[in-house]
Amino acid sequence: MQNYSKEAIYDYLKGVMVDLFEIDENAITADANLYEDLDIDSIDAVDLVVKLKEFTGKKIQPDDFKHVRTVNDVVEAVYKMLNDASNSETAAEPEAVETTTNAG
């Protein structure tokens, strides 16, 4: 899995919002409120989650996005999700242990 910086996540999110919702790129700032400033409604939010799922390759947990209000909140939630997923996947994989035998 590829690790994405917060900047890469922000750039992707900004592109999706411009393409999918036809929002002016200049209106999309880290502090912009999704619902009040960018006029994203519940149907738009579902479309956004679908795009984020495609981007991350992960199932989006509703609890992860429960308190998301701003563009930066989305970036942070996606970043955390990607890092938590990569950490748990790494921890779940057993380490290879080399064994040698003395056939002496």
pLDDT at 103: 55
Residue 76's Cβ-count burial label (10 Å; 0-12, 13-18, 19+) is middle
Task: Show the low-confidence residues of the chain (pLDDT under 70).
Answer: 1-2, 85-104
- Give the 3-state DSSP-derived string for 32-93, with helices as H, strands as E and coil as C: CECCCCCCCCHHHHHHHHHHHHHHHCCCCCHHHHCCCCEHHHHHHHHHHHHHHHHHHHHHHC
pLDDT at 60: 84
pLDDT at 90: 42
pLDDT at 31: 98
